[in-house]
């Protein structure tokens, strides 16, 4: 690098958030590449990375005021609070999972309108080969799926694997995972490793091979969604959704554990487990809802971040924040993702943005762009070339479009 770019990571202030955008291992590589790295004091503490570890890796640790004043690029896991966003200056770059879809997009448009360069990783084209190292949604979904199986096992009142003891034989727990995306496949694999008898379901017939390759059974319904625009499953009609719920309900009630992973970025998740289905499940059953959040979840009655015991004795766990509950591993993966994107937009120590590049153009939040909410969660994207250096964009910039996605799909 011919000049020095200053990159900073802040304390994550969202309730329950324990991750950090940079870890010491990645800081070492950034410093070696010629970056100056700043950390707000305490940024890594909840991920078990003390300030001293960052200093040893070559970073400087300072107050929020000093970090914001000096940083050229601000790295975050989630969107910083408004008081922090208001202090970002024109030309400064903000990179993170910034919730850039749906109604929440308006706040980022306003920020970009002030001249802040906003790059939101949740807009990344996830099927693009060169974007895989930047794919924070997938890395965090993998954490969520792994953790979901462990959370379910902890909440379940019996053995998960088959156990043969002097007192008799305990049958293995039966586990159903709804959605064969990144989170779903990781949940299937982890539940299998725990010794459960596992089945998976996805509305896409092509997902059957992925599920069975992990040694799980594949649940079928009469409802399937073939390829739509961009090659992904089309959205189900209301009639198809009703049939899907009814048919799934008949099968869900036979399982000990159900893990749901169907998310809609910026939109309301589909309900896959109805109150009627919950009422028909066996006492002691466990349902883990990875889509549970402010806009709803896949399970009727799930509450974000809480466990609810139904009158019928079924434990419903609102688990939309599982990556934040495994902060060390999740932060390590995220730091690699965010620095991979940084490498794609920096040349010779300066910001290099090309709106025609399919990675850059997709993640770059620019004013006057229409917000596109996919019908259901999935992996949007196309193929792309490389970047070229440009100045930050004017307020009116060329719009980009996100491809539609699949249902259900783990995020």
Residue 373: per-residue pLDDT: 43
The question of whether 241 is a catalytic residue gets the answer no
Cα–Cα distance for residue pair 119/61, rounded to 1 Å = 24
pLDDT, position 385: 33
- pLDDT for 399: 32
**pLDDT band per the 50, 70, 90 thresholds, residue 389:** very low
Q: What is the DSSP string of 247-258?
A: HHHHHHTT-SEE
Per the CB < 8 A criterion, the answer to whether 171 and 216 are in contact is no
Spatial separation of the C-alpha atoms in residues 396 and 313, rounded to whole Å = 55
Which tokens in the block code for residue 208?
């059957």
Tell me if 6-135+326-365 shares its fold with 145-324: yes
- The question of whether 232 is a catalytic residue gets the answer yes
pLDDT tens digits along 214-227: 999 999 999 888 54
The 3-state DSSP class for residue 350 equals strand
Q: How much of the chain exceeds pLDDT 70, in percent?
A: 86
User: What's the pLDDT band for 350 if we cut at 50, 70, 90?
Assistant: confident
Three-class secondary structure of residue 82 per DSSP: helix
**Domain residue ranges of the chain, discontinuous segments joined by +:** 6-135+326-365, 145-324
Residue 25: CB partners within 8 Å, gap ≥ 6?
A: 57, 332, 335
Residue 55 has pLDDT above 80, yes or no: yes
pLDDT class for 267, splitting at 50, 70, 90? confident
The pLDDT-based confidence of 294 (bands split at 50, 70, 90) is very high
- Measure the CA–CA gap between 319 and 305, rounded to whole angstroms: 6
- Count the residues in the chain: 411
Q: Determine the pLDDT at residue 233.
A: 53
pLDDT of residue 259 exceeding 60: yes
366 is catalytic: no
Q: pLDDT at residue 173 above 50?
A: yes
Active-site option among 138, 140, 244, 331: 138
Looking at residue 293, its pLDDT comes to 94
Between 399 and 124, where is the model more confident?
Answer: 124
pLDDT of residue 234: 63
**pLDDT single digits (tens) 177-224:** 999 999 999 999 999 999 999 999 999 888 999 999 999 999 999 988
Predicted TM-score of the model (pTM): 0.86
* Residue of 51, 72, 122, 135 with catalytic role: 135
> Is 79 among the catalytic positions?
no
Give the model's pLDDT for residue 264.
81
- Catalytic hit among 41, 132, 241, 251: 132
What pLDDT, on a 0 to 100 scale, did the predictor assign at position 411? 45
What pLDDT was estimated at residue 401?
31
Q: Where does residue 12 fall: left (phi above 0), alpha (psi -120 to 50 degrees), or beta otherwise?
A: beta
Residue 400 has pLDDT above 60, yes or no: no
Instruction: Specify whether 135 is catalytic.
Output: yes
- Closest by Cα among 148, 171, 168 to 158: 171
Q: Kindly name the residue from 232, 244, 253, 402 that is annotated as catalytic.
A: 232
- Out of 126, 147, 325, 366, the active site residue is 126
Do residues 365 and 400 lie in contact, with contact meaning Cβ atoms separated by under 8 Å?
Answer: no
For domain 6-135+326-365, give the fold: Rossmann fold (3.40.50)
pLDDT category at 154 given cuts 50, 70, 90 is very high
Share the mean pLDDT of the chain: 87
pLDDT digits (tens, 9 = 90+) for 83-140: 999 999 999 999 999 999 888 888 899 999 999 999 999 999 877 888 999 999 999 9
Class in CATH terms, 145-324: alpha beta
Q: What is the band of 368 on the pLDDT scale with cuts at 50, 70, 90?
A: low
């Amino acid at each position: 690098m011919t000049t020095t770019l200053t990159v900073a990571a802040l304390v994550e202030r969202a309730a329950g958030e324990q991750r950090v955008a940079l870890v010491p291992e990645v800081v070492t590589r950034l410093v070696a590449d010629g970056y100056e790295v700043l950390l707000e004091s305490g940024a890594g503490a909840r991920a078990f990375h003390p300030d001293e570890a960052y200093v040893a890796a070559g970073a400087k640790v300072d107050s929020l005021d000093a970090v914001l004043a000096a940083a050229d690029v601000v790295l975050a896991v989630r969107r910083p609070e408004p008081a922090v966003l208001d202090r970002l200056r024109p030309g400064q770059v903000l990179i993170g999972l910034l919730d850039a879809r749906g109604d929440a997009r308006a706040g980022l448009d306003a920020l970009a309108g002030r001249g802040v360069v906003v790059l939101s990783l949740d807009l990344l084209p996830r099927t693009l080969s060169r974007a895989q190292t930047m794919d924070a949604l997938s890395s965090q979904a993998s954490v969520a799926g792994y953790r979901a199986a462990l959370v379910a096992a902890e909440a379940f009142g019996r053995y998960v694997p088959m156990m043969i003891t002097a007192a008799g034989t305990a049958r293995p727990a039966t586990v159903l995972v709804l959605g064969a995306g990144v989170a779903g496949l990781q949940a299937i694999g982890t539940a299998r490793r725990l010794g459960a008898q596992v089945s998976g379901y996805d509305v896409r017939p092509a997902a059957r091979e992925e599920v069975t390759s992990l040694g799980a059974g594949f649940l079928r319904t009469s409802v399937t969604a073939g390829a739509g625009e961009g090659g992904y499953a089309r959205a189900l009609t209301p009639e198809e959704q009703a049939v899907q719920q009814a048919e799934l309900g008949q099968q869900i009630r036979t399982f000990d554990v159900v893990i749901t992973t169907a998310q809609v970025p910026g939109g309301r998740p589909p309900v896959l487990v109805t109150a009627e289905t919950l009422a028909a499940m066996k006492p002691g059953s466990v349902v883990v809802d990875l889509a549970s959040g402010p806009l709803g979840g896949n399970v009727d009655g799930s509450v974000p971040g809480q466990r609810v015991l139904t009158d019928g004795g079924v434990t419903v766990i609102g688990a939309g924040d599982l990556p934040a509950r495994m902060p060390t591993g999740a932060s390590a993966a995220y730091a690699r993702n965010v620095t991979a994107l940084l490498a794609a937009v920096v040349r010779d120590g300066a910001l290099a943005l090309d709106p025609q590049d399919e990675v850059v153009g997709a993640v770059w939040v620019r004013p006057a762009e229409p917000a596109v909410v996919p019908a259901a969660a999935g992996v949007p994207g196309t193929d792309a070339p490389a970047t070229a250096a440009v100045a930050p964009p004017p307020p009116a910039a060329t719009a980009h479009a996100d491809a539609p996605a699949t249902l259900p799909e783990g995020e």
